[in-house]
Amino acid sequence: MKILVCISHVPDTTSKINFTADNTKFDTSGVQHVINPNDEFGLTRAMWFKEKQGANVTVANVGGPETEPTLRKALAIGADAAIRVNTPANDGFSVAKQLAKVVQDGGYDLVIAGRESIDYNGGMVPGMIAGLTNSNFVNNCIGLEVDGTSAKVIREIDGGKETVSTTLPLIIGGQKGIVEESDLRIPNMRGIMMARQKPLTVVEPINIEPETASVSFDKPAPKGAVKLVSPDNLDELINLLHNEAKVI
């Protein structure tokens, strides 16, 4: 089984976010980037298929040279090869088209992408890849088993979960639950050394006109001032909750 895991290069959640060029561009200065968490869950599941079923695992990313350390980390975790499509990931539809070309050229049986990335939170790329490659698609995946060309997928739905039977080729929009946080792997020294010898192929993008563009970014409103009320002054607390906060 050939597996492709789509990897997004995203800012660490502890990073301080700023914008430049009149709030039209993300400021990457001093920002540490990591594997998108939903993608890392999917990569960990792919490693299970590699170890239990002998699957071959490739990771792919759309981005510039600055994303290669993230791909190398995925190789250190255990992926066999990496592909970087040499163009910025600025538009969800463009990213999906670039990755769909990688899928078609590689003849992958299973494509695991994160349900969404934690930077733009678009949640559109996995479904678009499926549509562009005419593959089966299951989103919000929290469980995945593959037997030959058949797959059993558990996905999260409102108020519960649903079990779906389908066939390969299959595109998955994964999330926490496909593996648990305790299952995630930290690259060891041997994995890091081996990652240096594994192939990281850079391919040029296909020519695509972006469908959307970011006009501007706005930070959340700053937190308001906090009013402290003495525990002995319940009347004042009730008055503030009723007349100012208007929650009672």
Please give the pLDDT value at position 224. 79
In DSSP notation, 8-67 reads -EEE-TTSPP-EETTTTEE--TT--EEE-HHHHHHHHHHHHHHHHH--EEEEEEES-GGG
CA distance readout (Å), 194 to 20, 58, 154, 191: 38, 15, 34, 5
In this structure, which topology does domain 2-220 adopt according to CATH? Answer: Rossmann fold (3.40.50)
Please give the pLDDT value at position 84. 98
Please give the pLDDT value at position 221. 85
Instruction: Provide the residue type at 95 as one letter.
Output: V
The packing angle between helices 68-77 and 37-53, to 10°, is 30
Map out the domains of the chain as residue ranges: 2-220
**Could you give the count of Cα atoms lying within 13 Å of 14 in the half-sphere of its Cβ?**
2
Q: Residue ranges of the alpha helices (H) in the chain?
A: 37-53, 68-77, 92-106, 125-133, 189-195, 234-239
Tell me the torsion sign for CA atoms 22, 25, 29, 34. positive
This prediction has a pTM of 0.88
Please give the pLDDT value at position 29. 87
Give every residue of the chain whose pLDDT is below 70, as ranges: none
Q: What angle do CA 20, 64, 73 make, to 5 degrees?
A: 110
CB atoms inside a 10 Å sphere around CB 147: 8
- 87-115 pLDDT, tens digit per residue, is 999 889 999 999 999 999 999 999 999 99
End-to-end CA distance of the chain: 58
Burial of 187: CB neighbours in 10 Å, binned 0-12, 13-18, 19+: middle
Please give the pLDDT value at position 213. 82
231 Cβ contact partners less than 8 Å away, ≥ 6 residues apart:
none
Query: What does the alpha-carbon distance between residue 179 and residue 144 come to, in Å, rounded to a whole number?
Result: 9
**Pair 78, 47: CB distance under 8 Å:** yes
Q: What angle do CA 156, 131, 112 make, to 5 degrees?
A: 50
